[in-house]
Amino acid sequence: MILPKLSAALLSMSLFGSAYAVPDIDFDRETSLDQWVVISGAANGAASAFGASAEDVDQHRNTAFSHLMRYAQEQGFQLAEFDSLFERGQVEGRKLAETHRGLIAPSGTNLIDGFMHDKAIEYQNVKKALDA
């Protein structure tokens, strides 16, 4: 089970699709890098549950990996468990999307749009979100 403080972030993310829109919601300014990996995985899993292509899901994961690893390196952090944290997020994102399909369905377009944005997001935008 995910950490309770991430539940609101994951639900919000599943409505918007973008992991990096979460700071705009102002849920918590003390998010750890590990939690960002889980949130990114959740955006990936939720989009997958709403029909994102396997190619888009892979590209999104690769972008998240590249940007979050770069951020970790620049900040002097270790991010040794990226794969397991991202997969945990994917499972939770799928679960939230399936459990709250009725709530998300009206926003399904927003979810996919946010996901597609994050799939090609520039590093500077990710860094700005993580530094917020």
Q: What is the pLDDT along the chain (132 residues), one digit of tens a residue?
A: 445 555 556 556 655 667 776 554 444 456 788 988 998 998 899 889 888 999 999 999 999 999 999 999 999 998 889 999 999 999 988 888 888 666 555 455 777 888 899 999 999 999 988 887
- Gap between the Cα atoms of 60 and 32, Å rounded: 20
Q: What is the pLDDT of residue 101?
A: 65
Q: What is the pLDDT of residue 126?
A: 92
A 10 A CB-CB count for 114 gives 23
Q: At 17, phi and psi to the nearest 5?
A: 80, -30
Cα dihedral: 104, 87, 114, 127 (round 10): 140
Q: What is the pLDDT of residue 39?
A: 87
Which residues, in sequence order, are CB contacts of 33 under 8 Å at separation 6+? Answer: 68, 71, 72, 75, 77, 79, 130
Q: What is the pLDDT of residue 106?
A: 47
- Which two three-digit tokens encode residue 21? 């829109």
Q: What is the pLDDT of residue 8?
A: 59
- Gap between the Cα atoms of 46 and 71, Å rounded: 24
Which pTM value belongs to this model? 0.82
